[in-house]
Every structure is written in structure tokens, then in C-alpha cells.
Amino acid sequence: MKDETLIRYSRHILLPEIDYSGQNKLTASHVLIIGAGGLGSPAAIYLAASGIGKITICDFDKVDISNLQRQILHQDESINLNKAVSAKKTLTKTNPHIQIIPVEKKLNVREVKNLANDVDVILDCSDNFETRYRLNEIAFSLKKPLVSGAAIQFDGQVSIYDFRDNKTPCYQCLFPDSSIDSEQRCSDHGVLSPVVGVIGSIQAVETIKLLLNIGASSIGKLLIYDAKNMHWSEIKFKKDPKCRVCA
Ligand SMILES: [Zn+2]
């Protein structure tokens, strides 16, 4: 490790759970972030600053002025720019020593699967159930860890699916398809800006823990954040023996 690199990551290296070997492992890691919006912004910024060596970030949408209230990857000058391209600009300023691969086009399942095949962890930072279900199926079929986040109004949630472990329940076990009918989006219902920051940041924390095998397993746990009452709760869930994805 070069002197400059040592200094850059010194506060990580000081942690016995990370040390040089962990930091080198982060440098050798590749993560896939689906969505460069409210959740993808803090997740990508923290993962880039942390020195994840390769980040593929996908978003086919363009930056709109209404995104700037919470999507901190993008600035005023990025309006009308593709979000993945705008993300690369910001992340390169944060850490010019890593590789950022922006994916601008709308991907089909096969294309996402091809991208996901090369990565160590998948982050679901999307804003819709359709993408969450498809990413769950893709991550399960490739046996890759999936870190899923969601936020709306004053509420957020995070769940982790580590498909390297056969016993992990999946997103489909937790939310059967019927919940698609009750889909809510920030664009229709609003969201408090820093709530997406909290949830996206936890997704970055859990990604690093998965990459370095730090701490207790977070599988089978749904973490729920109620910002209005500053209340955290946890729901434990099990593998559904009749799950159409993982059973
Ligand atoms: Zn399942």
C-alpha cells in the first residue's frame, strides 16, 4: 500500500476488524448499485470514499430539479444529465483512485444478471417493487448477497439477503407478490430528505460488513426506521417453505 493510500484509509486501517488486509479486500471488491437516486446517493458516496475498488452504478433516468432535495449525488449543474453519468462525476471527485462504471440504459433481466455475475454485493437502491422482486430473483440465482433499502415519507427499511448462505430467506419470503398493488413512491407521497440518507448509509455499512465478514449476520431481519418518533424496530422473518423463488 502506498503512503498516500495508507493515509487516505488510515481510519479504516486503525479498526482491527478492517486493518490492511480488510482495506486491500475493499480495494479488490466490486459492487453493483441499482439506482442513483435518494438511496443510491449516500450508499455510493460512502462506498466510494471507503475505497471499494470498482462500483457499477445503473440508472436510466435523468436528473430533475425535484431530485436535488435528497439525491445528493447530483447538483444543480447536473440537471438533465443521466443520473449514472452524474454519479460518476461526483464519485470521481470523492475518490479518483477507484473505478466507477456508469450504466445509462434501461436494462432487461438478462443484462442485469450479466452485470451482477461479476460483483461481490448487489445494492437495491431502486424505488419500485418490480425491480426489488427481479433483483431478489437474480441475486438468489447467482448466490450473491443483496442489500435492499426503501424509504417513503418519514419511514425507512433495510433488509439483507446473503444468498451465499442456503438458509437465508429471500425478499419474496418477506413480501409476497400481492404487495405490488400497494406500491408507494416518493414521487407521489413525498419523503423527508435525510431519511433516504439514513437508509442508504446503512446499506453502505451492511455492504462493507458483507464484504469483510464483520459482525453478526443480518439475514432474516427487517430493520424499520420511524423517523417521526425516532424509533427503530426489527422484524425477524424465516424462509417460506412455499416461496416460489427460494424454496
Ligand atoms: Zn424466498
pLDDT tens-place string over residues 4-40? 999 999 999 999 999 999 999 999 999 999 999 999 9
Q: What mean pLDDT is predicted for residues 77-102?
A: 98
Distance 170 CA to ligand 1 centre (A): 4
Q: What percent of the chain lies above the pLDDT cut of 90?
A: 91
> What residues make up the domain containing 76?
3-236
pLDDT grade for 176, boundaries at 50, 70 and 90: confident
Task: Please give all residues whose CB falls under 5 A of ion ligand 1, grouped by chain where several chains appear.
Answer: 170, 172-173, 243, 245-246
Distance 224 CA to ligand 1 centre (A): 20
Sign of the C-alpha dihedral computed for residues 8, 51, 216 and 194 taken in this order: positive
Distance 134 CA to ligand 1 centre (A): 12
Domain membership flag for residue 241: no
Distance 245 CA to ligand 1 centre (A): 5
Total domain count, the chain: 1
> Over the stretch 40-57, which tens digit does the pLDDT of each residue have?
999 999 999 999 999 999
Distance 199 CA to ligand 1 centre (A): 23
Residue 177 in this model has a pLDDT that exceeds 80: no
Distance in angstroms between the alpha carbons of the first and the last residue of the chain: 44
Distance 241 CA to ligand 1 centre (A): 8
Distance 133 CA to ligand 1 centre (A): 10
Contact present, 6 and 13 (Cβ < 8 Å): yes
Contact present, 38 and 150 (Cβ < 8 Å): no
The per-residue pLDDT of the chain, averaged, comes to 95
Domain membership flag for residue 225: yes
Distance 139 CA to ligand 1 centre (A): 11
- Tell me, what's the pLDDT at 182? 60
Domain membership flag for residue 184: yes
Domain membership flag for residue 15: yes
Single pTM value for the model: 0.96
- Tell me, what's the pLDDT at 183? 65
Residue 142 in this model has a pLDDT that exceeds 60: yes
Distance 212 CA to ligand 1 centre (A): 25
Q: Which three cell numbers stand for residue 14?
A: 486503525
- Tell me, what's the pLDDT at 28? 98
CATH code of 141's domain? 3.40.50.720
Residue 180 in this model has a pLDDT that exceeds 60: no
Distance 149 CA to ligand 1 centre (A): 17
pLDDT grade for 178, boundaries at 50, 70 and 90: low
Domain membership flag for residue 195: yes
d(CA 44, CA 54): 11
Domain membership flag for residue 154: yes
Q: Which three cell numbers stand for residue 162?
A: 446473503
Residue with cell 447538483: 75
Domain membership flag for residue 99: yes
Domain membership flag for residue 117: yes
